[in-house]
Amino acid sequence: MTRLLLDTSAYSAFFRGHEGVIEALREADLIGLCPIVLGELKAGFLRGSRWHKNEAELAEFMSSPRVRFFSIDEESPSRYAAIFSTLLKAGTPVPTNDLWIAACAMQNGLEVLTTDKHFKDIPQVVARWFAPDPE
């Protein structure tokens, strides 16, 4: 069973027509989203000129029976701390929001789908990385 946690970069790549990301999502049994990704998406929508269209596309995407929302709960900070500590010792910093996304993936046994290469530096999670399509 393929269980993915969608990173913001992969969601954006999906809507830009990235073939690898589209195929990975097509084959997934479960597609997870977490509050961090939704916050990043909505912040991006507010900065753009297509807010209503983007919100409608997100609502349609989330209505799929394969899409599930995973919360950050009282267990999540322990996962975050383990990842943060490991990366600090290794000298491989990762943006804070991506640490939380990784913690959610770790906690729920999900593979992160992303176009952000730094997820490959997080040993506690499996990341399916695709190079971003050239703009």
Considering the domain boundaries, does residue 135 fall inside one?
A: no
The pLDDT value given to residue 4: 98
Considering the domain boundaries, does residue 77 fall inside one?
A: yes
Considering the domain boundaries, does residue 113 fall inside one?
A: yes
The pLDDT value given to residue 75: 95
What is the span of the domain harbouring residue 48?
A: 3-129
- pLDDT, mean of residues 89-116: 97
Question: What span, in angstroms and rounded, lies between the C-alpha atoms of 5 and 47?
Answer: 24
What are the C-alpha distances in Å from 18 to residues 9, 22, 48, 63? 11, 6, 20, 21
Considering the domain boundaries, does residue 134 fall inside one?
A: no
Considering the domain boundaries, does residue 73 fall inside one?
A: yes
Is residue 3 within 8 A of residue 27, CB to CB? The reply is: no
- pLDDT, mean of residues 37-66: 96
Q: What is the CATH number of the domain that holds 78?
A: 3.40.50.1010
Mean pLDDT of the chain: 96
Name which residue leads in pLDDT, 82 or 48: 82
- Share of residues in the chain with pLDDT > 90 (%): 96
Both ends of the chain: CA-CA distance in Å? 32
The pLDDT value given to residue 109: 97
Q: Rounded to two decimals, what is the model's pTM?
A: 0.94
Number of folded domains in the chain?
1
What pLDDT band is residue 132 in, cutting at 50, 70 and 90?
confident
